[in-house]
Amino acid sequence: MQTGLCKPPQRILAISFKKDAAKTLKDRVSSRCPAEQASRFDSFTFDAFAKSLLDRFLALAPNWCRPPRDYGIYFPSRDEWLDFLNGLDTPAELGGEAAAQALRLNQIEQWGPLPLEFGAPADIRAWVAGEWWKHCLNMPQARITFSMINRLAEAILTHNPGVSRALRLTYSHVFLDEFQDTTGPQYRLTRRAFHASNAVMTAVGDTKQRIMTWAGAESEIFDWFDEHFEAEREMLQMNHRSNARIVQIINDLVTEIEPDAVETICARADDDVPEDASEFWIFATDDEESEKIADFIEDEIAGGRSPDDFALLVRVRANEAEDRLQPFFADRDIRLRNEARSIAGTAIQELLADEVVNLILGFIRLALGVRGQEVYRPVQEIIGAILGTDFESPRDVKRLDERSRQIVGFLKQETAAPPADTNMEALVNGVIEAIEERPLRRIFRQYEDDRYFRQILSSLSEFMTESAAEVDDWRTLIDAVEGKGQVRLMTVHKSKGLEYHTVIFVGLHQNAFWAYQRNQDEETNAFFVALSRARERVYFTQSRESGGTARIRGLVELLEAADVPAVEFADGD
């Protein structure tokens, strides 16, 4: 953008694996570029990109598998899948019931490429796929999975060259983040969209952080990219995040995993390093583990650190970890925020990465008198997009300012009463009405799913109501909703792309890494991801009550090889 290589009206497309990573990229571009430039940067997840294509060109999808415009997103359970299979009258000539029962859901969702016409099925997989599409589309409200959306988006590009050509003319540059976790269907869609185009393609990733093979991440994905896009590989050796000690641990671990790996260089080699930059804490019981973690953070906060500086990472089951840790944090008046906790059907981390949520919270901050480009610019960009603002036109900019003042004026009235006395649902709906719902949903295609849009608004209203019961003023309320002044708790998967001053990996034991014996590479990569989130310090904890380490001895040996000291805590230490 800033160099002018992407000339108006062309745009840059960034595709990330996680929603919050996509938001972070968008926020970083917005903070560094003028509004006109930032408005030409599109940041999606793979799912959101596929859905945007489907929603925009729905009428061009093959008729036999085309959902209605009000389709819903389907997350079928194992029982629902089995019920579907059990209800089939499977043709004997294709293998009968036994052949159908052997198929997995992902094999059917990913069946394709989707033809324009669904003819006589050639095998049992094609036949079951056809029945599955009928089943999903004939529900009282048609529902399809994100994998099916991906296949529909690919079909639209395949059967409609004009759409493919328009997409290629739109984007001069395409950036693929966390590329090591890309699945086969996601890659096929990307290839269909941009192979042999003039777009500058950049894929960034680290095979040591591949932790999504269970979800279909392809181990040969970089080789495919090299071949199909004639890419040149460049090693990014410089680590700008972590201090020298943590980079040293990273290099020691990598050497154990890949003896021929290129060493990472610490960009902060001259910075001071804490004496206790990394330790492995071992406890007899869960309560001792939780108490030590809470005491440690309490002491750090007393010494001047902010709760935001800390992240507690777990391999799995963040809700169970919250139940175990929360009483000890509450006793010390430290807020622990479980990013996986569901509010009216939406995880907190997903909710706070949502565009309309951030728009509403941004307007509330403006109504409270908070100023600064980090608040005003994102709001300005979205309202400008809704109004079709030409930022070079004084008339358009005046209209934008008038609409913004109208919304801020409404919120000043709504926030005159204390938060606990405010109907948050009415406030949220009032902002949407003032913004104008229809153009908002046109700008953000994911909101064309009405049920999803209503769920997001409901989740925000409920979260604000819940938070209002614990605060006295509106600024503190918005800080609480956004997670300011809170210690984060999340799974390793949800931590990708994030960084914290101090990371504590809670639960380094074999019951957390239950799949280690079956898939050592991916479990070791998860361990590596946790380590690489830390800027200054990283700690690992084990409670023997929760599990031993005999079956994950390889992970413990990695810490030993990196000279990470093990510290045994007796009761009362």
- The neighbouring-strand residues paired with 13 are 42, 174
Range with lowest mean pLDDT among 214-218, 249-253, 454-458, 556-560:
214-218
Give the C-alpha distances (Å, rounded to integers) separating 523 from 94, 257, 493, 560.
39, 12, 11, 17
Phi-psi region of 372 (alpha: psi -120 to 50; beta: other; left: phi over 0): left
Mean pLDDT (whole number) for 218-241: 89
The phi and psi torsions of 404 (rounded to 5 degrees) equal -65, -45
Angle at 243 between CA 237 and CA 249, to 5 degrees: 70
pLDDT-derived band at 90, boundaries 50, 70, 90:
very high
10 Å Cβ neighbour count for 286?
A: 17
Residue 332 has pLDDT above 70, yes or no: yes
- Summarised one tens digit per residue, pLDDT across range 103-143 is 999 999 989 899 999 999 999 999 999 999 999 999 998 99
The phi and psi torsions of 323 (rounded to 5 degrees) equal -60, -35
Mean pLDDT (whole number) for 53-67: 95
Mean pLDDT (whole number) for 551-558: 91
Query: Which pTM was predicted?
Result: 0.79
pLDDT-derived band at 571, boundaries 50, 70, 90:
low
The phi and psi torsions of 542 (rounded to 5 degrees) equal -140, 130
Closest among 227, 250, 163 to 503, alpha carbons compared: 250
Secondary structure (3-state) at 396: helix
Question: pLDDT at position 211, please?
Answer: 44
Secondary structure (3-state) at 538: strand
Rg value, the chain, Cα: 25
Give yes or no for a contact between 136 and 144, defined as CB atoms under 8 angstroms apart: yes
Question: pLDDT at position 136, please?
Answer: 97
Mean pLDDT (whole number) for 415-433: 95
Please identify which residue in the block is written with the tokens 């209209």: 399
pLDDT-derived band at 573, boundaries 50, 70, 90:
low
Q: Which helix (H) or strand (E) holds 283?
A: strand 278-283
Q: How many CA atoms lie within 13 A of 536 on its CB side?
A: 13
Please identify which residue in the block is written with the tokens 């006295």: 472
Mean pLDDT (whole number) for 490-512: 92
Q: What is the pLDDT of the chain when averaged over all its residues?
A: 90
Please name the residues in contact with 78: beta carbons below 8 A apart, sequence gap of 6 or more. Answer: none
Closest among 450, 414, 420 to 434, alpha carbons compared: 414
Please name the residues in contact with 228: beta carbons below 8 A apart, sequence gap of 6 or more. Answer: 191, 195
Angle at 233 between CA 231 and CA 238, to 5 degrees: 145
CA 206 to chain CA centroid, Å, is 17
Rounded distance, CA 101 to CA 128, Å? 10
Question: pLDDT at position 217, please?
Answer: 65
Question: pLDDT at position 384, please?
Answer: 85
Residue 290 has pLDDT above 60, yes or no: yes
Mean pLDDT (whole number) for 191-199: 95
Please name the residues in contact with 184: beta carbons below 8 A apart, sequence gap of 6 or more. Answer: 110, 216, 218
Rounded distance, CA 142 to CA 61, Å? 15
Q: How many CA atoms lie within 13 A of 393 on its CB side?
A: 9
Mean pLDDT (whole number) for 210-216: 50
Give yes or no for a contact between 501 and 536, defined as CB atoms under 8 angstroms apart: yes
Closest among 67, 150, 64 to 106, alpha carbons compared: 150
Give the percent of the chain with pLDDT over 70. 97
Mean pLDDT (whole number) for 543-551: 94
pLDDT-derived band at 258, boundaries 50, 70, 90:
confident
Give the C-alpha distances (Å, rounded to integers) separating 387 from 23, 436, 447.
22, 10, 18
Q: Which helix (H) or strand (E) holds 488?
A: strand 487-491
Range with lowest mean pLDDT among 37-46, 161-170, 192-201:
37-46
Q: In what order do the strands lie in the sheet with 566-568?
A: 336-338, 487-491, 310-314, 500-506, 534-543, 278-283, 566-568
Residue 212 has pLDDT above 50, yes or no: no
Give yes or no for a contact between 243 and 535, defined as CB atoms under 8 angstroms apart: yes
Token readout for 271 is 């910075």
The phi and psi torsions of 239 (rounded to 5 degrees) equal -100, 110
Range with lowest mean pLDDT among 238-247, 434-443, 544-553:
434-443
Question: pLDDT at position 214, please?
Answer: 46
Give yes or no for a contact between 541 and 256, defined as CB atoms under 8 angstroms apart: no
Mean pLDDT (whole number) for 394-401: 89
Residue 489 has pLDDT above 80, yes or no: yes
Per-residue three-class SS string for 56-115 = HCHHHCCHHHCCCCCCEECCCCHHHHHHHHHCCCCCHHHCHHHHHHCCCHHHHHCCCCCC
Rounded distance, CA 237 to CA 265, Å? 6
Please name the residues in contact with 96: beta carbons below 8 A apart, sequence gap of 6 or more. Answer: 90
Token readout for 432 is 């949407």
Secondary structure (3-state) at 548: coil
10 Å Cβ neighbour count for 327?
A: 13
Mean pLDDT (whole number) for 274-290: 95
Buried b (16+ CB within 10 A) or exposed e, 265-274: ebebeeeebe
Range with lowest mean pLDDT among 390-394, 399-403, 412-416:
390-394
Rounded distance, CA 534 to CA 498, Å? 9
Give the percent of the chain with pLDDT over 90. 67
Rounded distance, CA 78 to CA 116, Å? 30
Question: pLDDT at position 24, please?
Answer: 83
Range with lowest mean pLDDT among 82-91, 315-324, 387-396, 492-501:
387-396
